Amino acid sequence: MLGPKSLQHSRLNYNRAIQTTSREELLLNLVRMRYHESEEFLGVSSITGQYTYNADLTGAGIWPGGAKHAGAAKLGATSKPTIVYSPEQGKDFNQRKLSPVSLETLDLLASKGWAIDRVLRLTVRNLNDIDNATSAGGPTPTKKPEYEEFLYLAQLFRQLKTPNSRRLIRHGLEPGTPIALKDEVTMSTRSLKEMMFYLSHAVGAPAEHYRCGYVRSTFDDYGKPFNWNDMTAGLFHVHYSKKRPVDADVAVKHRGYWFYESNCDLDSKSTLNLLSELINLEIRAGGGAQIPLLTI
């Protein structure tokens, strides 16, 4: 494809590649955190497409004396994209990742169509004395977190009309500040890293990885193994498989297994999109400047 047609061919392909690899990177980081490994982000700063076209034409005929001469035509094209990656490791990036998300951001999300219970379950640490699995905001704990009462509260908010359910967020000032409704309410929000830890517990792991100590087991008050899917049901879940899954929305390979989000699991897809949206709003908007570049 020559001229403007090359744009039609390449732009959407690069767009799809960036979207796919961004989701794979985010899922890989959640899997890493489940295994008590550090996360890593690598942004794509720019893509420069360079195309080279060449043509070669030869003919055929009969030389004097009857000797035959054969010819050929050759057409070729070469694509040499230059991709610039930005390792997101700067001070500003890490500070934004560790800072509690603002109530203004939660209000923005709730006003733009995100389900209020999904927003609250992912972003809120506690509401007054109602705990939303605070201990799940870090590496996997050995004791089951408290979450049942908050889960019930979040479901009640979803049953309310959106304008009323948003009052809890709109009337706040900063995380941890009293909010004047009928009674005094105190809301504490999670940082993005806490949100990632929270979702990482929904990553399933094979039994052999528990036996080897690659992942930590969690137990309830009776000493029985706790199933993290009870906490994240309807929000997020990551499956695992020895073979590459066929029907996966996004899949990554780690420690000899494929970890994936099912293509028919709309709740998990929505939550991963919400986390990505929060990262873009809280970190990448205005962030990532003055970072060393790696060019390939």
Range from 17-21, 117-121, 149-153, 258-262 carrying the lowest mean pLDDT: 17-21
- Is pLDDT at 241 greater than 90 in this prediction? yes
Query: Does residue 2 have a pLDDT over 90?
Result: no
Burial class (CB in 10 A: 0-12, 13-18, 19+), 243: exposed
- Strand-pairing partners, residue 179, are 185
Q: Is the pLDDT of residue 156 over 70?
A: yes
- For 105-127, the pLDDT digits (tens) are 888 888 888 999 999 999 999 98
Neighbours of 167 (CB within 10 A): 13
Q: Mean pLDDT: which of 11-20, 224-233, 287-296 is highest?
A: 224-233
DSSP string, 227-265: -THHHHTTT--BEEESSPPSSEEEEEEETTEEEEEETT-
**From 32-41, 50-59, 190-199, the region with the lowest mean pLDDT:** 50-59
Could you tell me which residue, 166 or 79, shows the higher pLDDT? 79
pLDDT band at residue 163 under the 50/70/90 scheme: low
> Which burial class, exposed, middle or buried, applies to 281 when counting CB atoms under 10 A from its CB (0-12, 13-18, 19+)?
middle
Distance of alpha carbon 177 from alpha carbon 165, whole angstroms: 18
- pLDDT category, 296, cuts 50, 70, 90? very low
CA gyration radius, the chain: 26
pLDDT at 16 over 60: yes
CA 164 to chain centre: 30
When pLDDT is cut at 50, 70 and 90, the band that residue 227 belongs to is: very high
State the average pLDDT over residues 254-270.
96
Residue 212, pLDDT score: 93
Closest CA to 270 of 109, 162, 39, 149: 109
